[in-house]
Amino acid sequence: MSEGMGARMATQEAIAHYQIDPALSRFTIRAFATGLLSAFGHDPTIAARQYEGEAAFVPGTLDQAYLRMRLQPGSFEVVDDVSEKDKHDIETKMKQEVLETSRFPEIVFESANIQPTRMGDANYSVKITGNLTLHGATRNLTIYCQLSLNGETLHSAGEFSVRQTDFGIKPPTVAGGAMKVKDELKCSFDITARKQGTKAG
């Protein structure tokens, strides 16, 4: 075995792999109403109930970092304190008319470049650039987040914005067009991931 090949294999073995724990994580989307009747409506908050993801990097340096996440839009749920009728109407319109979940059952983000800045012994400010595939379209996306490592767990929190029209989605309207959802959505996440091979408790 050559020295170069041995070094590459050693580096690969040193990479730590983490799996997102949905039970300890949160991913939400906030929409904003506009139009004549917006004052009588509300800005719905949607929670993703089914998603998974993995991250990998060289411990201590975050070299060769990688992130991939998959969300099932069919699991999106309104979490605001609204009537069951409003909740049902919003979710039905969102899934059937806006996201068309029967045609596009998965949303995927895959990193292309991750730039960490060390803020402390195990804390980082991170810039992630990659590709988001939503509603059958793929666009570049940049995410800024805070990341911390604690033993066998990874914790990351941040937010980013998405414009629906960038993905061929027409922002929905209600009340004959007197109220509609703004193009820009605000997405927030608070994620805990566990190193592969470890168990809770």
Tell me which residue range forms the domain holding 24.
3-195
> Does 201 reside within a domain?
no
Residue 112 domain-assigned?
yes
Work out the burial of residue 181: count CB atoms within 10 Å of its CB; fewer than 13 is exposed, 13-18 middle, 19 or more buried. Answer: buried
- pLDDT tens digits, one per residue of 13-31: 589 999 999 999 999 999 8
pLDDT digits (tens, 9 = 90+) for 127-155: 999 999 999 999 999 999 999 999 899 99
Which pLDDT does position 126 carry in this prediction? 96
Kindly report the CATH number assigned to the domain that includes residue 154: 2.40.128.110
Distance CA 131, CA 64 (A): 17
* The two structure tokens encoding residue 18: 């983490």
For residue 70, the model assigns a pLDDT of 97
Give the whole-angstrom CA distance, residue 152 versus residue 98.
Answer: 39
* 178 part of a folded domain: yes
Question: Is 200 among the domain residues?
Answer: no
Q: Is residue 121 part of a domain?
A: yes
Question: Which residue in 131, 128, 189, 134 sits closest to 165, CA to CA?
Answer: 134
Average pLDDT over residues 54-83: 92
**Burial profile 110-121: b = 16 or more Cβ within 10 angstroms, e = fewer:** bbeebebeeeee
Strand (E) or helix (H) holding 131: strand 123-134
This prediction has a pTM of 0.85
Residue 40 · residue 85 · CB < 8 Å: no
| Burial (CB count <10 Å: 0-12, 13-18, 19+), residue 33 | middle
Number of folded domains that form the chain: 1
| Cβ-contact 43, 79 below 8 angstroms | no
The token pair that represents 98 in the structure block: 């806006």
